[in-house]
Amino acid sequence: MAHRLLLNDIRIRLKEKVLLSLNAEIGPGEVLTVMGPSGSGKSTLLAYVAGFLDPIFSAQGNILLDGEDVTSKPAEARHIGLLFQDPLLFPHLSVGGNLLFGMDRRTPNRKQRMCDALAEAGLQGFEQRDTATLSGGQKARVALLRVLLSEPRAVLLDEPFSKLDQSLRDDLRRLVFARLRQAGLPALLVTHDAADAQATGGPVVELAEH
């Protein structure tokens, strides 16, 4: 399924000051990278698109997903996947439990799809594993699979590779961007690392310093 994310004349203010302005169209499998110094508004932008902007900010501009205006919808109704620096996994659930948690209950063959996804990501047979026993790279892969299996319409990535060492980082970058392309998902990536931006092959937006 191909998805499209449109950020239509987004402008976010903090008090009277314009923090950022952005106009972008992100097609299926495309990644738009947002770079900028600390405090330039990268996390604020992701929070607005995801639907949990702190009310201290005021925002205008529309967010369209597959042509549907989701700007006034709550976060859970937007179906946007989030991938952060620290993989968000429930510690009391197994790997399989974590993956099933985000999946639509009506999905046919849920468990089989979950096991297949693990195998395709090099984690065959990991479904019963306790998440506390996973390495950093394995946790990152499970977090990615959790997002993909939840069938989002777009994905937001906030420095998802920054805590991994160099070789793991390269592997995970390849995996993440290949999977996003495969799934036809538009993505917004926030990073400090120019190599992340380069790996996407997509456009880069620089936010200004404040």
Ligand X SMILES: Nc1ncnc2c1ncn2[C@@H]1O[C@H](COP(=O)(O)OP(=O)(O)OP(=O)(O)O)[C@@H](O)[C@H]1O
- Given the rule CB under 6 A, which residues bind ligand X? 14, 19, 36, 38-44, 54, 56, 210
- Token reading at 26: 């992100």
Interatomic CA distance for residues 151 and 133, integer angstroms: 26
Burial class (CB in 10 A: 0-12, 13-18, 19+), 117: buried
Q: How far is the CB of 131 from ligand X (least distance, A)?
A: 26
Cα–Cα distance for residue pair 34/73, rounded to 1 Å: 23
Specify the residue, 14 or 93, whose C-beta has the smaller distance to ligand X. 14
If phi over 0 gives left and psi between -120 and 50 gives alpha, with beta otherwise, what is residue 68? beta
* 50 vs 28: CA distance, rounded Å: 18
Residue number with CB closer to ligand X (83 or 117): 83
Name the residue nearer to ligand X (CB basis): 4 or 42.
Answer: 42
CB of residue 118 vs ligand X: minimum separation in angstroms? 32
Residue closer to ligand X (CB basis): 45 or 143:
45
Q: How far is the CB of 40 from ligand X (least distance, A)?
A: 4
- State the minimum distance, in angstroms, from the CB of residue 123 to ligand X: 30
* Centroid of chain to Cα 177: 11
Closer to ligand X by CB, 43 or 94: give it.
43
The tokens for 204 are 């880069």
Phi, psi of 5 (to 5 degrees): -120, 125
User: Closest separation between CB of residue 209 and ligand X, Å?
Assistant: 9
- Three-state secondary structure along 49-91? HHCCCCCCEEEEEEEEECCEECCCCCHHHCCEEEECCCCCCCC
Tell me the closest approach of the beta carbon of residue 2 to ligand X, in angstroms: 29
User: Which residue, 53 or 93, is less far from ligand X as judged by CB?
Assistant: 53
